[in-house]
Structure 1
Amino acid sequence: MEFPFFHGKITRKACEELLCKNGKNGSYLIRESESVEGALCLCVFFEELIYTYRIFREKQGYYKIQTSEGIPEKVFRTLKDLIYNYEKPNQGLVTNLRYPVKKTKPLQRSQRLKLGKDDIYDEIDESDYVAVLP
């Protein structure tokens, strides 16, 4: 998925840390669900709490967001359409989506060199070595 606010397979705890660090009502990101295979989670920061909404992909490729009982389900052709809809106020979320929390890219080798973090062997654990017989 090529959205800057899609964080993939991060934990709920990591998600909460990112959203709380931003600390603005309406901050949001999307991650893969840890408990429901194939589902996504739209996580929204509002008044010091994180609200999580599950997003399901239908067989036809459409997206729908899980709603409370009695609330009509909305179906969206793309994830971009879903986000666009919920950027508007009063669409059924705790607040409208305002501040996407973008995924940070891992440092490339040239950036690690500048920061003095080029020793790739620092990341290797002793148990990763194998004794080679003569």
Structure 2
Amino acid sequence: MDLPYYHGPLTKQECEALLFKEEVDGNFLIRDSESLPGVLCLCVSFKHLVYVYRIFSVQHGYEIQTKEGHPKQIFPNLRELISNYKKPDQGLVVHLSNPIERTSCPSSRMQSELNDIYENSNQEYVDVLP
């Protein structure tokens, strides 16, 4: 996965430190979920809090957990998902405005594992919501 705002296995504390480095609403990054293997987290700063949205890999792309009552959408790739949520009123607490890019690339081993897990696979996933 070659996304500059994907940080891999980042802890919640490391994530918060990066998002709060500049106090701007709409800072965002993607990291691996600590509690659900194979799930990504879109982390967004707003009013000195970090909001976390789970991104699930589904049969034909990616689906994000948004506010209740907002229609679910499937995106063919993560770039399109992020592009959509850069627009206001798409179901997030605030639109995405400032990607927090990683300073180093994930290792080639990690990159290979990520490609196997996240790139439009035909594997079945179970959506687990809180």
TM-score range, shorter chain: 0.7 to 0.9
The residue type paired with residue 34 of structure 1 is E
- Structure 1 vs Structure 2: percent identity of aligned residues? 50
Calculate the aligned-residue CA RMSD, in Å: 1.2
Is the partner of 2:55 in helix, strand or coil? strand
Aligned counterpart, 1:88: 87
Mapping 1:39-54, distance limit 5 Å = 39-54=39-54
Q: Does structure 2 conserve the Cα–Cα contact (< 8 Å) formed by 1:65 and 1:74? A: yes
Structure 1 match to 2:27 = 27
Mapping 1:1-134, distance limit 5 Å: 1-60=1-60, 62-105=61-104
1:3 offset after TM fit, Å? 0.7
Amino acid at match of 1:88: K
Unaligned runs of 5+ in 1: 107-134
Q: Identify which of structures 1 and 2 has the higher relative contact order when contacts are C-alpha pairs closer than 8 Å and 6+ apart.
A: 2
The two structures have a TM-score, normalised by structure 2, of 0.77
In structure 1, what is the Cα distance between the partners aligned to 2:104 and 2:70? 38
Q: Max radius of gyration: which structure?
A: 1
Runs of 4 or more above 2 Å deviation: 67-71
Amino acid at match of 1:70: G
Whether the 8 Å contact between 1:28 and 1:99 is mirrored in structure 2 is yes
Contact preservation (8 Å) 1:44, 1:52: yes
DSSP-derived class of the 1:22 partner: coil
In 1, Cα distance between the equivalents of 2:71 and 2:46?
23
Contact 2:67 2:92 in 1 (8 A): no
CA distance in 2, matches of 1:69, 1:4: 29
Q: What per-residue deviation string (whole Å, max 9, x for no partner) do you get for residues 70-122 of structure 1?
A: 3321110110000000001111101100000000128xxxxxxxxxxxxxxxx
Segments of structure 2 that go 5 or more residues without pairing to the other structure are: 106-130
The residue type equivalent to 2:100 in the other structure is V
